[in-house]
């Protein structure tokens, strides 16, 4: 089974996804906090990304979603093409678009996204990975 | 359709109507489906978001003319993001 692992980022688990800038499709790599506390199995989103990334990378809108907790309020949602090349993953994923915040990660991979895969440290406490 | 409305506004309005219909009538063809809208028209009705998105993008490659909706959902529901450090 293909597996990809990334070193912890600032001591936290992360995943790297590749978006595609439209119209030419140049790859845009984003490092996302892997957060099983973001969303639930039935959530209407899988990722939280900067809204500009959603718009520049071919996202089409869904109705907005109301968030509580670390993000509060109504936020737009987009269907965004997302790749993890090492896993052969290439799907359209529903993402919440939030304002840019340089103090934070470039986004969050929520539980519904992580739950598409097997995830964890796979025996290496300095890394986090996905397997499918 | 008003000529002064943008494609996004027209798509949003149709999505709202579809969701209201599906929530009021469980026999609606849209109930519990993922509905893809392009240019103010329903063009895809699918059982899951991946299939809907794939077919919608094939039909209308310009994302600015597309819209998706999960029919029968309560859009007032709050989704929690726990404990972001």
Read off the pLDDT band of A7 (50, 70, 90).
Answer: very high
Distance CA B64, CA A61 (A): 8
The string of pLDDT tens digits covering residues B4-32 is: 799 999 999 999 999 999 999 999 999 99
What's the gap in Å between the CA of B36 and the closest CA on chain A? 10
B50 lies within 8 A of chain A by CB: yes
B29 lies within 8 A of chain A by CB: no
Question: Residue B75: closest CA among chain A residues belongs to which residue?
Answer: A65
Terminus-to-terminus CA distance in chain A, angstroms?
A: 6
What's the gap in Å between the CA of A111 and the closest CA on chain B? 10
Question: Residue B85: closest CA among chain A residues belongs to which residue?
Answer: A70
pTM here is 0.92
Terminus-to-terminus CA distance in chain B, angstroms?
A: 46
Domains of chain A, CATH where assigned: 3-131 (2.40.70.10)
A35 lies within 8 A of chain B by CB: yes
B77 lies within 8 A of chain A by CB: yes
Placement of tokens 């329903």 in the chain: B42
What are the chain B neighbours of A92 within 8 Å (beta carbons)?
A: 49-50, 53-54, 57
Question: Residue A62: closest CA among chain B residues belongs to which residue?
Answer: B68
Q: What is the DSSP-derived secondary structure letter of residue A12?
A: B
Read off the pLDDT band of A69 (50, 70, 90).
Answer: confident
Question: What ipTM was predicted for this assembly?
Answer: 0.89
Asked if B54 contacts B39 with a C-beta cutoff of 8 angstroms, the reply is no
């Amino acid at each position: 089974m293909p597996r990809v692992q990334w070193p912890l980022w600032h001591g936290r688990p992360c995943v790297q996804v590749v978006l595609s800038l439209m119209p030419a499709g140049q790859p845009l790599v984003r490092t996302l906090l892997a957060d099983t506390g973001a969303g639930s199995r039935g959530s209407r989103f899988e990722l939280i990304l900067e809204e500009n990334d959603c718009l520049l990378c071919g996202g089409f809108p869904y109705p907005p979603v109301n968030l509580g907790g670390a993000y509060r309020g109504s936020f737009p949602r987009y269907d965004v093409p997302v790749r993890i090349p090492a896993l052969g993953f290439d799907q359209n994923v529903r993402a919440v678009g939030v304002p840019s915040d340089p103090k934070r990660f470039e986004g969050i991979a929520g539980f519904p996204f992580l739950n598409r895969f097997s995830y964890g440290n796979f025996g290496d406490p300095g890394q986090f990975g996905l397997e499918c | 359709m008003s000529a002064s409305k943008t494609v996004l506004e027209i798509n949003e309005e149709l999505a709202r109507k579809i969701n209201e219909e599906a929530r009021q009538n469980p026999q609606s063809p849209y109930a519990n489906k993922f509905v893809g809208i392009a240019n103010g028209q329903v063009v895809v009705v699918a059982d899951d978001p991946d299939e809907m998105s794939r077919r919608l993008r094939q039909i209308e490659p310009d994302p600015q003319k597309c819209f998706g909706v999960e029919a029968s959902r309560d859009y007032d529901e709050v989704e929690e993001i726990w404990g972001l450090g």
